[in-house]
Amino acid sequence: TTMELLRHALSIYPMDTSWLRTQGDFNYIIRKYPTSLRNYIEAGAISSSYFLNEVPTDIWDDLVYRRMISCCSALFCHTQAAVLCQFLTPVDFNMAIRAVQQHNSEDAMETYYHCIWETTILEAIIHLHSMRGEYDKQQIAMSCLNQPELNSYNSTDILLHAMRSRKRRFLVALAHQYLHVILLEIYDLYIILLLLKTVYIYIYI
């Protein structure tokens, strides 16, 4: 079967990001959303050196982002889904706002506000909490919105830095939640590769 083929391929090449993405696609189709999300996140972590770099577009494209959003929504992690809407090109503001309006969110929504760089989404969240009388959460969102680096009058470089730092902060948090031990193995391997590279340079150059 397809799943047996994927498992065999990953048993031989456990860090092959293309196979991991394919496994994520397959699990999404058969509605195994938690497993699909883990597959996608693992592929992204490996291909970007634990999110130190951008995830290549052949690993995460808009189709994968939309599937990750669907997985988060299916798991009632609507704030995570809203944050991921920022990764789309163009940003899907309507989907993000619909996500934060959900009443059955099971993620601690305010803990992800510092991962949002699109001020339109933060403004919608502030308004939502005001309407619900959730003033503590409203203050947290306002504090995130008022961060100097999100000022629209900033230079492009500052705004890009704000986006990248928030994006990585979110992806690392997502990886910690869904990958657990796998994440540590990826990070340990990355450190080993860096040490081997350093030894090689010391000996041969």
Token output for 77: 């992690």
Instruction: With a cut of 80, say whether residue 5 has pLDDT above it.
Output: no
pLDDT, tens digit, 9 for 90 and up, residues 170-190: 999 999 999 874 545 555 555
Residue-level pLDDT at 11? 74
Query: pLDDT band at 16, cuts 50/70/90?
Result: confident
Contact 105, 78 (CB under 8 A): yes
Q: Cα–Cα distance between 197 and 60 in angstroms, integer? A: 27
For the whole model, what pTM was predicted?
0.85
Going from the C-alpha of 119 to that of each of 7, 138, 187, the distances in angstroms are 42, 14, 32
In this prediction, residues 33-41 reach a mean pLDDT of 96
Residues in the chain: 205
Contacts of residue 134, Cβ cutoff 8 Å, sequence gap at least 6: none
